[in-house]
Structure 1
Amino acid sequence: MDWLGPEEWQAVALSLKVALWATLAGLPLGLFTAYALARWEFPGKQLVNGLVHLPLILPPVVTGYLLLMTFGTRAPVGAFLQDIGITFAFRWTGAALAAGVMAFPLMVRAMRLSIEAVDIKLEQAAATLGASRLWVFLTVTLPLILPGIIAGGILAFAKAMGEFGATITFVSNIPGQTQTLPSAIYAFLQVPGGESAAMKLVLISVAVAMTALLLSEIFARRLTKRMEGR
């Protein structure tokens, strides 16, 4: 149990907490966005699609800076939220927000692909029998895309666990409060003799990422087999 010291365990626990909340909070909005992009036609659809994927192509530091300018304590939105008791800047909740924003495109993409793989004729058949759109989604679409939702959640969780640039820009690197795994690795590498502790955290990060990728691949294959009726 002494393989990791208290500071390292604290970083691991905080990373798990941040990644879990980032994933769970993003799932409902991610599913709605994925369904809208896959099934609906509306003005500005390509713009929405571009905004959803923007965190993938922007430097993470830029994303973190935009979050700071939006949700910082002196920013209009951040000041309003602070007045009602919600603070993101330099808090673990801000780390979860930054990680969730960076993971959101991966989540949406996985869900969108699973929705597009569903034969729309199945949904139309259920609708012709008098089922409402919501009931069609709950009884036909949702069971078929469940593997894609799980895969998207797993990918988002792994991405959130490894997020660094946006997080450190938005909430800094405060031990015990905002210092996640990547931030702790960075901090250990800045001090003499910290390479050993950094390597331990690197191994944990690699293990988490590989496990997430393997689980995502398993669910993706199950989805493909289900769609092919095998």
Structure 2
Amino acid sequence: MQRVKVAVVEDHTLFAESLVLALGLEGYDVRRVSLGEPGRDISTLLPSILRSTPRVVLLDLDLGRHGNGARLVEPLTRSGTSVLVVTGNTDRARWGEVLAHGAKNVLPKSAPLNDIAANIRKVSQGLPVIDGEERADLLRFWQAGQAAVRDARAKLERLTRRESEVLGHFLEGRQVKEIAQLSVVSEATVRTQVKSILSKLEVSSQIAAVGLARRAHWAPPQA
């Protein structure tokens, strides 16, 4: 029988090479995909992955300086490739996100090799690899996270341009005194703006305001 082709997309060399060696001994036709130079758009990895026509791709969510591996799930799935995410990330909302975009299952990097191999075998045979209830729970985590992001973005849209600039300074780690000096205004003026920001974002501290902005992947207006 033809061996199942498996591609490993992973930025940690030791873990990737261990997978390649172990799965090779299990009888799989497995290779690691080179990630290329850091900083390249992660979508440029797609041709490299598909070149060997893998049946299954083992994909890490966080590819370090190479970017967010989750962005590859949907295009790989559309190509007819089965994606199994193997990750050290424990954010269940992100697990739900990749399942929503077509991944067959998400496994922690601490999972035994036998579990990973069993998932590959079942996926290659067209069998389900995740319990329906568990999948539904993970999707709910993702949907709740999406709702929280939408809520945060709606609050951020309440800010005036000047308030957005002040929040942008906080994202850069600046304090009220420094912001006042850079903006050529009094500290009292900045504190008034901060009070308005906290009220509109419905948070009680500058740290909470920064956290909300980061969760929403918000960027301040350009000068």
TM-score by length of 2: 0.26
- How does the TM-score come out when normalised to structure 1? 0.26
The structure in which a higher percent of residues are helix is: 1
Whichever structure has more strand as a proportion of its residues is 2
